Structure 1
Amino acid sequence: MKTLNSFFFVALCLLFSITSYAGDKASFLKKQFTAANGYKLNYRVLYPENYCPDQQYPVILFLHGAGERGDDNEAQLFHGGDMFASYTNQSKYPAIVIAPQCPKDLWWSSYQRPEKEGEKRYYPTVAPITKTMAAVKELLDSYIAKGIVDTKRIYITGLSMGGMGTFDLVCRYPNLFAAATPICGGANLQRLTNFKGKTAFSIYHGADDSVVDVQFSRDAYETLKKAGVDVRYKEYPGVDHNSWDNAFAEPDYLDWMFRHK
């Protein structure tokens, strides 16, 4: 029986290994997840090139920005998709990458957007988890339940609205993620002051961001540092809201994540 089981798993591994791997965002499979309450969430998932279902892999949860919301199950990979799926990165950092898509007019996390010129975003201290983010967490749990996830190496990253969602989800589940990389995001500072988890943070922001005030990331960095959290911050002079281009180009963007367990 043991020999038969071994043959079965080898066959599965061979089946996955011969599946077409494009080395870009086309390698992400299109999926839809139905939460326990019936809510349907579109998402894309990337398996490592030589994925084998009897092994456990790191997981990267990627949260896109507000501009990529919708129902096409494609736009969420516009920024970052090719980077995560490149042959080089999947060879050095094989991981299961999960990229959900937030529907139009909804948000990953709760915050008040500025309505007038000069106003700033407001992040509440206490707010219920959004229905979309609740489905994202349930989706992640479903992959963990399959036994294919190395639960010591679960990472989360996101840009803009996704950077805010990154802070939000880590604060809600402080012992789930090994590392988090919010890009041009923001968070309620009281929540960060009270953060007691072991998640390491690498924060990125453009100094001339005209959409999300860079001060949010500066304050998040100082607050987490005072709270004794493992945190680093990189700011890009002269860069506007597209600081994800700079962050994704960092030579240690993925390497830094994978150093944490």
Structure 2
Amino acid sequence: MNYKNNWLSCLLVLLPMLIFSQEQLYKEASLVRQNDTLNYRILLPENFSENQTYPLLLFLHGAGERGSDNKAQLTHGSTLFTAQENRSNFPAIVIFPQCPKDDYWSNVDIDRSKQSIQLEFNSQKEATTALTLVMELLNEQLDQPYVNKDRVYVAGLSMGAMGTFEILSRMPTTFAAAIPICGAGNTALAEKYAQVPLWVFHGAKDNVVAPLYSLEMVEALLKAGGYPKFTLYEDANHNSWDSAFAEPELLTWLFSKNRAQP
């Protein structure tokens, strides 16, 4: 009997079921404003009760997961919050919005003519439609009595990390902590949220979004009086989120932060 082939066959049968189960845990929803729609998935804590309060985490995906299927945004990071140990130890409301294909989380000019993209941020630009809808969605959630307003967090990877830096600058008093992974931001706006605890991640070999962008953001935060936590993975390329999600203290660090206690 070929046990290896049998094991692979079982895995191929179970994999769609695991993906389906994952999608079922994150409930589908949409925010509609006139002609604009923001699809999102929301994960509620086990034994959720509106009579209790919970932390809220907003997770912003990368450019490759943009679309309208309300599924692709769960590709990276979603399983971190559905792992049984994490659901038990860190009960929280987790929201994964999906950016439409023709939009972006951050208002930035992008030059893709080189292997490592060139980014230019302008502090005078308005938020994109996608990020505007995310902020509306977040404000709606903050109006709910079961959301702990002192424990609201934002995280994102690549394009989502750019959105993380930007939403911090536009809502600087909202978040208790943030995790931008392999991203970039407007250094001129760092002083607006320098006191928010950040854990910034990047791969030293990133040839898509250069690690210098994160280094520049960390430098700007330090100059503004902040104390960001920074991890640079010497062997990681753009997918440094894999290493970040594997950090044993990641969620402990994040959910320990309270807006009233930086």
Please report the TM-score for the alignment, with normalisation by the length of structure 1.
Answer: 0.87
- SS of 2:121's equivalent in the other structure is coil
* Alignment partner, residue 208 of structure 2: 211
* Alignment partner, residue 96 of structure 1: 93
- How far off its partner does 1:201 sit? 0.7
CA distance in 2, matches of 1:38, 1:147: 29
Counterpart contact for 1:31–1:45, Cα < 8 Å: yes
**Structure 1 segment 28-177 matched on structure 2, within 5 A:** 28-35=26-33, 37-117=34-114, 120-177=118-175
CA distance in 1, matches of 2:67, 2:193: 34
Counterpart contact for 2:117–2:209, Cα < 8 Å: no
Counterpart contact for 2:103–2:129, Cα < 8 Å: no
* Alignment partner, residue 7 of structure 2: none
- SS of 2:161's equivalent in the other structure is helix
Distance 1:111 1:210, change over 3 A: same
CA distance in 2, matches of 1:31, 1:86: 22
| Residues 111-147 of structure 1, C-alpha deviations (whole Å, 9 max, x = no match) | 1112422762112222101111111111111112121
- SS of 1:121's equivalent in the other structure is strand
Distance 1:25 1:93, change over 3 A: farther
- SS of 1:181's equivalent in the other structure is strand
CA distance in 2, matches of 1:65, 1:119: 14
CA distance in 2, matches of 1:132, 1:142: 15
| Residues 39-86 of structure 1, C-alpha deviations (whole Å, 9 max, x = no match) | 221000000012111111000000000000000000000001111111
Counterpart contact for 2:39–2:97, Cα < 8 Å: yes
- How far off its partner does 1:23 sit? 7.8
- SS of 2:151's equivalent in the other structure is strand
Counterpart contact for 1:23–1:85, Cα < 8 Å: no
Counterpart contact for 1:25–1:85, Cα < 8 Å: no
Correspondent of 2:228 among 218, 228, 231: 231
**Structure 1 segment 17-32 matched on structure 2, within 5 A:** 24-32=22-30
- SS of 1:122's equivalent in the other structure is strand
Aligned-residue CA RMSD (Å): 1.6
Structure 1 runs of 4+ with >6 Å offset: none
CA distance in 2, matches of 1:197, 1:228: 6
| Residues 138-193 of structure 1, C-alpha deviations (whole Å, 9 max, x = no match) | 1111112121110000000000000000000001111000001000010111111x
Amino acid of the structure 2 residue aligned with 1:121: L
Q: State percent identity of aligned pairs.
A: 41
Counterpart contact for 2:168–2:193, Cα < 8 Å: no
* Alignment partner, residue 182 of structure 1: 180
Distance 1:174 1:214, change over 3 A: same
CA distance in 2, matches of 1:229, 1:67: 31
CA distance in 2, matches of 1:139, 1:188: 23
Counterpart contact for 2:123–2:188, Cα < 8 Å: yes
CA distance in 1, matches of 2:113, 2:193: 35
Correspondent of 1:254 among 220, 237, 251: 251
Name the count of aligned residue pairs: 238
Distance 1:25 1:81, change over 3 A: farther
* Alignment partner, residue 218 of structure 2: 221
CA distance in 2, matches of 1:230, 1:23: 39
CA distance in 1, matches of 2:194, 2:211: 24
